[in-house]
Chains A and B, each alone.
Chain A
Amino acid sequence: MALIGFALGMFALVGVLILVMRAVSSFGTKK
């Protein structure tokens, strides 16, 4: 059970990381 929890947790973590890194990528462009 904990193993499945970890697997799901890893995917959730990677998803959050992708969203955050995508969001901050807009700071390279001029406003």
Chain B
Amino acid sequence: MSDDAIRPGEPLTIRVDGRELPATRGQTVAGALLANGIRVLRHTRRMGRPRGVFCGMGACYDCIVHVNGAPGLRACLTPVEPGMDVRLPKQFGPDPQP
């Protein structure tokens, strides 16, 4: 599969912790974050350790983020939408604190 065989989706903008970032339709939140060089998606609640995309298939729940106020969505399975508000959980891990 060569570069010109596939056309990416239309460009759009998402907000990540208040910052506007470019994405394309068809990307997941995880894909858009990685494409923007963001590898740390959250910090764990007990030890405050950084976590990122791990299994990429919805099994491990390490990539959970807050999306449009809803807590605990898997970034690897959630498609981006224009204007989507993504918050990366800090310190308190998976628990809701949008």
Query: Are A and B genuine complex partners?
Result: no
Interface positions of B (Cβ within 8 A of A): none
